[in-house]
Structure 1
Amino acid sequence: MLRAWMQDSVPPHTEYPERPGRWVAESQWPSPNVTPEHYYLAEQKLVKAPEEEQAIMVTGM
């Protein structure tokens, strides 16, 4: 049901003639190997639990 190309880590470069990696797959989706997790917005980061209630400004670029 899900197939993806996992690229191996390589040093930064402007062009690659070939990117090493491998194919990985899950036979069903959602996969039984995936556990949902919830994250919250905090100042310049995501957190697992809200630290304290605060206003966060989100702006476009």
Structure 2
Amino acid sequence: MSGALLKIQRERELVWWGAMLPYLEKKIGLDEFVGRDDAARIAAFNAAWDRVDQALARH
């Protein structure tokens, strides 16, 4: 994930905390609020390491 995307994600997390503080009784999960999809991130991470492993195997 690029630095710009991480910055946007952190800013959205701060917005989430600011919005949720008055409503702590009825919580909305951060992942749901920011639309984070862990399965997609895990798949991208594994694909990146597969490419690294293939490159190392070639050399």
Larger of the two Rg values belongs to structure: 1
Q: TM-score scaled to structure 1, two decimals?
A: 0.20
Higher helix share: 2
Higher strand share: 1
